[in-house]
Amino acid sequence: MSVFSPDLLKDEVALVTGGGSGICKGIARAFVAHGAQVGLVGRKADRLEAAAAELSALGPGRAFALPGDVRDYAAMEGVVDALLERAGGLHIVVNGAAGNFLCPSAQLSSNGFRTVLDIDAVGTFNVSRVAFDKALRDGGGCILNISATLHHGATLLQAHASAAKAAVDATTRNMALEWGPAGVRVNGLAPGPIAETEGMARLLPPGMGDRLRATIPLRRFGRIEEIANAALFLVSGAASLVTGAVLVVDGGASLPQAMSVALTSPG
């Protein structure tokens, strides 16, 4: 049962990159559950079609599969055109498409570093730029960039993703500055470790779950629905004055003293 009004996003049209899986599929599910029409972007057309059918069956909104690679600007122009034609508008963009893997900087190839920057940072720019040009510039709306907390300090074996998410956060603030006068809010959402996601499967070494959990002040990993709830808030009228912000949703995992929580007992 949602804490938000069931028709929170009625008459809204959203584009969610990375919406075929994991956290961003959860965000798309929440948008559809609150009445929105949602275009799902990713490279794997079959997975997108399955996700769109699943979410549309749940309703009351609808989801469409819009395959494409966020690194390809022309492809994103086609995706936005297709969504405008099918849904009649575009008001909300969620940039969630991302790539990551563990690799020491000394072994990472230049192309490996560039690939993650391209997907996360250039992809976020491409989709935002196209959406602004074709829809948001005239009608207003909001953009939500899915970030992380890797770059708040430094994260072992993730120089590529840390640099990419730092660029995403910078883009969030700069676009908020430039596009605010057009009535476009641009925010970020930085999840901590979220259970049952590809990100966790790739980045958490086997057997390390309990040790990592012990360092989180709330002593648990997040759930996809908790990130979706934060996304619903940020794209809704409840956040009408919020722009240029990056909301950390991580149970306190990235607080500077979080590691010492493992040494304490409750209270």
Choose among 19, 65, 68: nearest CA to 43: 68
- CA distances to 12, 29, 33, 72 from 58, rounded to whole Å, are 17, 8, 7, 31
Binding of ligand COA by 106 (CB under 6 A): no
Among 7-15, 101-109, 207-215, 248-256, which window interacts with ligand COA (CB under 6 A)?
Answer: 101-109
Q: How many residues bind ligand COA (CB under 6 A)?
A: 14
Q: Residue of minimal CB distance from ligand COA?
A: 99
**Residue 109 interaction partner, one of ligand NAP, ligand COA, none, beta carbon < 5-8 Å per kind:** ligand COA
Binding of ligand COA by 220 (CB under 6 A): no
The interface with ligand COA within residues 184-213 (CB under 6 A) comprises 198-199, 202
The secondary structure of residue 239, as a DSSP letter, is G
Alpha-carbon distance 198 to 23, whole Å? Answer: 9
Among 3-11, 95-103, 165-173, 243-251, which window interacts with ligand COA (CB under 6 A)?
Answer: 95-103
Binding of ligand NAP by 209 (CB under 6 A): no
At position 10, the amino acid (one-letter code) is K
The interface with ligand NAP within residues 30-69 (CB under 6 A) comprises 41-44, 47, 69
Query: Pick from 8, 17, 35, 128: which binds ligand NAP (CB under 6 A)?
Result: 17
Q: Which residues have C-beta within 8 Å of that of residue 31, sequence separation ≥ 6?
A: 9, 12, 14, 16, 38, 61, 92, 231, 232, 235
Which element (helix H / strand E) includes 56? helix 45-58
Q: Which residues have C-beta within 8 Å of that of residue 171, sequence separation ≥ 6?
A: 121, 124, 125, 128, 145
Binding of ligand NAP by 171 (CB under 6 A): no
Binding of ligand NAP by 199 (CB under 6 A): yes
Alpha-carbon distance 37 to 63, whole Å? Answer: 6
Which one, 99 or 141, has the nearer CB to ligand NAP? 99
Number of H helices and E strands in the chain, helices first, is 10, 7
Which one, 35 or 171, has the nearer CB to ligand NAP? 171
As beta bridge partners, residue 37 has 13, 62
Interaction site with ligand COA (CB under 6 A): 98-101, 103, 108-109, 111-112, 115-116, 198-199, 202
Interaction site with ligand NAP (CB under 6 A): 17-18, 20-24, 41-44, 47, 69-71, 96-99, 119, 146, 148, 191, 193-194, 197-200
